[in-house]
Amino acid sequence: MRLVEKDLYCLRWLCEMNFGSVDQLWRAVWRRDESRSAKYAEERLRFLEKDGYIKRELMPGTKQRFFRCTKKGHDVLSQVRGDVVPPIRKINFGQFDHDNFLIELRLEFEKTGAIKSFQSDRVLKAELFSGKNSRERSRYEDYHMVPDAKMLAREGDVIWLEYDRTKKSYDRFKEKAYRLDDRLRAPHHRLIWIVEDQGIFEMVKDLVSTFRDDQVIVITREQFLKAGAAAVLEDLSERKKVAERKRAEQENSALRLKKKAEEEQFKKELEQISRELETAELTLMRLTEEQAALEKKFFRKRELEAEVFFQMRELTAVIDKKSAIKKNLSRKLMFTSLMID
């Protein structure tokens, strides 16, 4: 038998998620199309195991079987798909409950149809180690603080997924919250933080109290299983809508306040201009009156000059006449004197 597309996807899925049971691989890979039961998945897994692409491991003390990808499976997958996360060499049953629940989370979130892509912590760490996601912080610190998963929602939001099964020190949780807060600074980034019990819930809830409410959901495992992935995503989406409405209201309120302030400023400027215009009009009236008074004085001066001119002419005529009379009299007097002599 040859490898088909679903077989390759199964190998990739095992590399990304560490391991998977028959039921989990059926739901992840084959349930969506030709397989209505796990029987077909079992046939394909037997083929993959027989040809050495996957390896079966039993959980200690039980008959539960789980599959992981082998080096051969990874090599074949890399030839077809290129850069693929290398598989684990052995299932770590010490952290089985944590890893197994992350598998169930992926299956539940992908089942909703709202998730476009899912990257496990193995994929994220591989990208970090290869330098695709390098930062200024030391690689060692970032490597051990990578979230459990990164999901890309079909609406475009990036949703970080974190699951804490055991209670750690307060400082450890504080450092994790700090790292997650740094990731949430990017636009459209959200966080779903699932914890095992109420004690961890209270600690984490306190640490994320400074986060925006629309960016983060802290929920216990029991609450998540009761609500379901679809309800949690809907809650996150509803918080986003509420936050957007609040931001829109705040922006509208700020816009109204700005507009009101502009109107008040315009009124003040208008009042100032009106006062200045009134002052200018009064000044113009005063200058007009002064001009009229000056013109009146000018015309009166011209009249006085004319009167003086005519009076001077009359006086000149009188003087001339008197001078003539005086001259005649002088002549008569001289003649009379001569006659007497």
Instruction: With respect to residue 61, please indicate whether it lies within any of the assigned structural domains.
Output: yes
| pLDDT at 140 (0 to 100) | 41
- Rounded to two decimals, the pTM is 0.73
Instruction: With respect to residue 43, please indicate whether it lies within any of the assigned structural domains.
Output: yes
Sequence-ordered alpha helix ranges (H) in 18-95: 22-25, 38-50, 71-81
- Per-residue pLDDT tens, the chain, 341 aa: give them: 689 999 999 999 999 999 999 999 999 998 865 556 788 899 999 999 999 999 999 998 888 999 999 999 999 999 988 888 999 999 999 999 999 999 999 999 999 999 999 999 999 988 876 655 555 344 445 556 789 999 999 989 999 999 999 988 888 899 889 888 888 888 899 999 999 999 999 999 999 988 888 889 999 999 999 999 999 999 999 988 888 888 888 888 888 888 888 888 888 988 899 899 998 889 889 888 988 888 888 888 888 888 888 888 888 888 888 888 888 888 888 878 777 76
The CATH number given to whatever domain includes residue 70 is: 1.10.10.10
Instruction: With respect to residue 185, please indicate whether it lies within any of the assigned structural domains.
Output: no
| pLDDT at 97 (0 to 100) | 94
| pLDDT at 334 (0 to 100) | 81
Residue type for position 210: T
Task: Domain count for the chain, please give it.
Answer: 1
Angle at 335 between CA 331 and CA 337, to 5 degrees: 115
| pLDDT at 137 (0 to 100) | 43
Instruction: With respect to residue 81, please indicate whether it lies within any of the assigned structural domains.
Output: yes
Q: How many CB atoms lie under 10 A from the CB of residue 45?
A: 25
Q: Which phi and psi angles does 2 have, rounded to 5°?
A: -100, 160
Instruction: With respect to residue 201, please indicate whether it lies within any of the assigned structural domains.
Output: no
Instruction: With respect to residue 86, please indicate whether it lies within any of the assigned structural domains.
Output: yes
Q: Which structural domain range is residue 71 located in?
A: 1-91
Question: What is the number of alpha carbons within 13 Å of residue 163 lying toward its C-beta?
Answer: 21
Instruction: With respect to residue 51, please indicate whether it lies within any of the assigned structural domains.
Output: yes
Instruction: With respect to residue 65, please indicate whether it lies within any of the assigned structural domains.
Output: yes
